[in-house]
Amino acid sequence: MVRRIILILVLVFILFFACVSSLDWAKTDFEAYAASDPSLKEFAFKYFGHEVNLKLGICCTDYMESEFTIDVLPVREIADYMEGKYGVVIDTSEFEAHRKNGHFDLDVIQTDDGDELIEHYDDFIKIDGLTLVGTLFTHGSWATVSWSETPEIESIFKYEEGHSNQMQIHIATNPIGSWIKIWLRIKSDTPNRDGYYDMTIVAEERVNFDFKTNGCNLEEIKAAIQQIPDMLRQQDQQ
C-alpha cells in the first residue's frame, strides 16, 4: 500500500513538473510555433499592472503614483531583452503612445483633513482592490493599478484573458519582498462564451526588487524599476 502511494506521488510529481517545464519556451519553440505563420511570433505589449500591498501601512499608497512607476518603466528595453532571449517580436507602440499623451498619469493627493484622493484617467487606468467613494480611498488593504486591452473586465486576475498573444508586465510591492514578472502569453484556440480567450504563459521572467518598503521610499522604487533590464541580464549570468 505504501509503495503504491509513493508511486502515485512520484507520477504526480513528474507530471506536474513536466507541465511546468513545457511552458518555458525557448527560441526554437517559438520558431516551431510560428513555422506555418510568422505572425505568431508577434506579441503586443497589452498589460501592465502594479499591485501594492497596503496592509499594516508599510507600503504606502504613494507607490501607486505614475511618477515613480509607470512613467519610468523601461518598456522598450524589457521588450528588447525578451526579443533577444526568445526570438519574438514585441510591439510596445500602443503603450508608449498612451504614456506620451499622459493617459497613465496617476497622482495620490493628500487633503487637509488627512484623506487620500486619487487622480487618474479611468478610461485607461483601472484600480482594483480599493473601495472608492468618488475618488476617495477607503478600507483598502491592497490595490492594483492596471492597463490592458480588456478594460471592461479588468481586475487583479483578468490579465489571464484577452484577445491577442501578448507580453505582460506585473509588479508586486509587498512588505515581505517585491518583484516583477514578465510574461509571454498565447491565446487559446477558441474564445469563451464572453468572447475572451484564455491565455497560457509560455515564457516567464522574474526578478526581485532590492529596496526597503518601510518609509515610503519613492526614489528607491523608481530606481529599482529603472534597473529591471540590468537585473534581467545579470540574472542570466548567474
For residue 4, pLDDT beyond 50 = no
pLDDT in tens, 111-159: 777 777 888 898 999 888 765 555 555 556 788 899 998 877 666 556 7
pLDDT, mean over the chain: 82
**Cα distance between the two ends of the chain:** 44
Report the run of H or E that residue 45 belongs to, with start and end.
strand 42-53
* C-alpha span between 143 and 132 (Å, rounded): 11
Name the residue among 136, 142, 123 with its Cα closest to residue 55: 142
pLDDT of residue 130: 64
Q: What pLDDT was estimated at residue 216? A: 82
User: d(Cα 1, Cα 237) in Å, to the nearest integer?
Assistant: 46
DSSP state of 78: H
d(CA 158, CA 168): 12
C-alpha to C-alpha distance for 99 and 151, rounded to whole angstroms: 16
CA dihedral 40, 41, 46, 48 (to 10 degrees): 140
> What are the angstrom distances between the C-alpha of 108 and each of 51, 119, 120, 137?
15, 6, 9, 10
Asked if the model's pLDDT at residue 198 lies above 90, the reply is: no
Which of 30-44, 87-101, 176-190, 207-221 has the weakest average pLDDT? 207-221
Closest CA to 128 of 145, 111, 116, 114: 145
Distance CA 104, CA 122 (A): 9
Alpha-carbon span 148 to 235, nearest angstrom = 28
The per-residue pLDDT for 192 is: 82
Looking at the predicted structure, is the pLDDT value of residue 11 above 50?
no
Task: Return the pLDDT at 95.
Answer: 97
Residue 13 has pLDDT above 90, yes or no: no
pLDDT band at 110 (very low <50, low <70, confident <90, very high): confident
Model pLDDT for residues 112-123, shown as the tens digit of each residue: 777 778 888 989
Q: Taking a C-beta distance cutoff of 8 angstroms, is the pair 51, 63 a contact?
A: no
